[in-house]
Structure 1
Amino acid sequence: MSHLVLLSGWGCDARIWQSLDGHWPTGVAVSAPDWPGYGARPPLDEPGDLAALAEAMSAALPTDAVWVGWSLGGLLAGALLDHLPAPRALVMLGMGPRFCHPQGVTEAELAAFRGAFRRDADATRAHFLRWQLGGEPAPRTAHRRLLDLLGRESPAATATLATGLDWLASLDVSRVLADPPCPVWRLAGEHDPLLAPEERARADIRLAEAGHCPMLSRPEAVAATLADIAQRPEHSLLEATP
C-alpha cells in the first residue's frame, strides 16, 4: 500500500483535499493532516519556529510516505527536510524554491499584500482565494467549489496566517533542493498565476488546463498523477530528482 500525505497551503486547511475524494485508485492510502493553528489543531507557542513545527508534524509525516505540499505547504515541507527524516519522495505542487520571483509574485507585491492583511485580514484572505484561482479554466466554478469545501470563515487565526505570510516572504529551500535527501518532484498547473513562467517550465509535470489549484479544476488528473508517483518503485522515483 502506497501512502500519500497531503499538506495544504496558506489560508486553506486540509478540507481543500476533499476535492480528490472518489478519484484515488486502489492501493493508495491518503492522509491530510492540518498544520498547527489550522482547523482543530492548536497553534504553536512560537508559530514561526520550524523546529517546533517539525516536532508537531513528525507523527503525521512518516518516512515511508510521499509528502505532497501544495503552495506554502510545499515550501514548508521542503524546509522540514532539514528537521525530519526524509520521506520516500517530496512533491511540491504550485511552488518553487521560494515564493517571490521577479517574473511571478514580486517582493513588492507580497509586501503590499501583507500590508493589506494587517489592515483587514478577512477581506485580504478572501481576495487571495479568488486571485489564486485566476489560472483555472472556470475560476468562478472553482471558487464555488472552494467555498463549498471551506466555507467563508477563516480556518486559522490571524496570527497563524500572519506567520504563513512571514514564511512566504523569507523561506528559501534552494539549498535543500540542490542536494535533496529524497527524490523531489515539482508539479505545476500550466496557467498558474502565482508561478513565474520559468518556474512552470522547470516543473517535472505540468497539468494542462489548470492553474494554482488543480485539485479543484482537475481533481481526477491530480489524483492520478500523485498516485502514479506514490506507486513507483524506489529507483523510478529518483528520475525526478534535480
Structure 2
Amino acid sequence: MKLVLLSGWGIDARIWQPLAPYWPDGVEVITPDWPGYRASPGLERANDLAALAEAMRGTRPAEAVWIGWSLGALLAAALLDHLPTPRGLIRLGMAERFTDAPGCRVSFAELRAFRRAFRRDPEAIRQRFLARQLGGEAQPDQALQALTRLIGPRPPADTATLDAGLAWLATLETTGPLARSGCPNATLIGEHDPLFDAAALSEAEVLPGTGHCPQLAMPERLARTLVATARALLATGATA
C-alpha cells in the first residue's frame, strides 16, 4: 500500500517525520513538498492549479491513497480535477471548506483580513497562524516549540507561495471534486481542533485528545489510524 502525505499552509513535509517510526511493514510512504516549499521550485504563477498539478504529477501516483492535511486536503481534492484519481483521499484536519461552511470557525472576512495583515508582515502573521492551529493541543506552547524544532524558525516557503495558499484556503472546497471523481474518501478531525466546531466533527471520524496537529500530539496513534482508514478506502474501492 502506498500513501502520499501532503502538508498544509506554512508547514513543509517535515511535519510527517514524527510518524516515521510507526508505519507498519508493507506501507510505502511518500512525502513530497508542494512547489515553493524548501528546495522545490515555485510556480511561475503561484495560484495556478493546472501548473500545480503538472508540478505534482510525478510525486502523486494514482495507485496510492492521498492524505492531505489542512490546506493539503483542499489542494488534494482540487487536483482531482487535473490528475488521475487516486485509490482514496483522506482529509485530515479539514472539512468541506476552511471558511463559511457548517463547522468552520474561520469566516471569509476573518481570513481576508488575515491575508491583508500577512502582506504587511508575513512572518509575524505566519507565526500567529501556527500558534492558533496548535491551540487545541494539551500543551500548545510545547507543541509550538516542537514544531519549530522540526521545521526550523524560518519560513519554509516564499511569500508568493504562502499568499497563494491563503487565497486557496478562502476559495477551495472538497465536495465538488470528490463527487466528480468518485474517489473513495474519509475525513479525520481532532476532537479539540480550534478551526472547526461540532458541526464539522459530526461529519468526520473524530481523533480524541488532539487538535489540528495530531502529527505532534499523537504520532503513533495517527499512523495506525491513517493506515486503517486507507485500508478501509481500498476495500471500498475494490467492491465499488
**Paired position in structure 2 for 1:206:** 206
How many residues end up aligned between the 2 structures? 238
Shift of 1:159: 0.7
Are 2:33 and 1:37 aligned? no
Task: Find the aligned partners of 1:173 and 1:209 in 2 and give their Cα distance.
Answer: 26
Shift of 1:232: 4.1
TM-score, structure 2 normalization? 0.94
AA in 2 matched with 1:217: A
**Paired position in structure 1 for 2:106:** 105
TM-score, structure 1 normalization? 0.93
Task: Find the aligned partners of 1:234 and 1:118 in 2 and give their Cα distance.
Answer: 42
Shift of 1:217: 0.3
**SS of alignment partner, residue 2 of structure 2:** strand
Are 2:83 and 1:84 aligned? yes
Task: Find the aligned partners of 1:145 and 1:180 in 2 and give their Cα distance.
Answer: 37
Contact persistence 2:87–2:233 (CA under 8 A)? no
Contact persistence 1:98–1:171 (CA under 8 A)? yes
Q: CA RMSD in A?
A: 1.7
Task: Find the aligned partners of 2:92 and 2:14 in 1 and give their Cα distance.
Answer: 16
**SS of alignment partner, residue 134 of structure 2:** coil
Shift of 1:101: 2.6
**Paired position in structure 2 for 1:228:** 228
AA in 1 matched with 2:208: A
AA in 1 matched with 2:3: L
Shift of 1:180: 4.1
Change beyond 3 A, Cα 1:158–1:59: same
Task: Find the aligned partners of 1:170 and 1:176 in 2 and give their Cα distance.
Answer: 13
**SS of alignment partner, residue 202 of structure 2:** helix
Structure 1 residues 63-83: Cα deviation after superposition (integer angstroms, max 9, x where no partner): 110100000000000000000
Contact persistence 1:229–1:237 (CA under 8 A)? no
Unaligned runs of 5+ residues in structure 1 are none
**Paired position in structure 1 for 2:57:** 58
Task: Find the aligned partners of 1:106 and 1:176 in 2 and give their Cα distance.
Answer: 22
Unaligned runs of 5+ residues in structure 2 are none
**Paired position in structure 2 for 1:137:** 138
Task: Find the aligned partners of 1:9 and 1:105 in 2 and give their Cα distance.
Answer: 16
**SS of alignment partner, residue 189 of structure 2:** strand
> 1:1-242 counterparts in 2 under 5 A?
2-101=1-100, 103-203=104-204, 205-232=205-232, 234-236=234-236
**SS of alignment partner, residue 27 of structure 1:** coil
Task: Find the aligned partners of 2:120 and 2:194 in 1 and give their Cα distance.
Answer: 24
Change beyond 3 A, Cα 1:46–1:154: same
Structure 1 residues 100-124: Cα deviation after superposition (integer angstroms, max 9, x where no partner): 0365101121112112101100000
**SS of alignment partner, residue 22 of structure 1:** helix
**SS of alignment partner, residue 187 of structure 2:** strand
Change beyond 3 A, Cα 1:104–1:139: same
Change beyond 3 A, Cα 1:180–1:202: farther
Structure 1 residues 130-154: Cα deviation after superposition (integer angstroms, max 9, x where no partner): 1100111121221121011111100
Contact persistence 2:85–2:181 (CA under 8 A)? no
Higher alpha-carbon deviation: 7-16 or 134-143: 134-143
Task: Find the aligned partners of 1:198 and 1:174 in 2 and give their Cα distance.
Answer: 16
Shift of 1:47: 1.2
AA in 2 matched with 1:231: R
